Amino acid sequence: MVLGLFDAREASDFGEHLANLLIERTPAAGETVGKGRLTKKHEAMLHQLEKQVIRFKADHKLNTYRKAKLGNRFKWVLRERGYEAEYVDQLTTWLMLKL
């Protein structure tokens, strides 16, 4: 059905889920933790997000519209929570390349 192609609720919800996972693991304000530790923590967080993206991608057919909705929701949840625009753009680009 043609209308089904534009049903992107699951993709949008997943984008919000990913953003919330990132928010739980990476505060918007910079931490005073040593740079090496923060980098390892950040890499581990990205690895966990990537595993979820791979699983979601395998279970859902993602057309261009659904990918856009997922990325847009991810981006705006982070922006609304106070993350820097440049950082959010980098993360959103990373996510879109994984999709």
Q: What is the pLDDT of residues 26-42, one digit of tens each?
A: 876 654 344 455 578 78
Question: How many domains are there within the chain?
Answer: 1
Query: What count of other Cβ atoms lies within 10 Å of the Cβ of residue 85?
Result: 10
Q: How far is CA 87 from CA 9, 15, 44, 65, 96, in A?
A: 25, 16, 17, 23, 14
| 26 Cβ contact partners less than 8 Å away, ≥ 6 residues apart | 41, 42, 45
HSE toward the beta carbon, residue 28, CA cutoff 13 A: 12
Domain, as residue range, for 62: 3-98
Predicted local confidence at residue 29, as pLDDT: 62
pLDDT, the chain, mean? 85
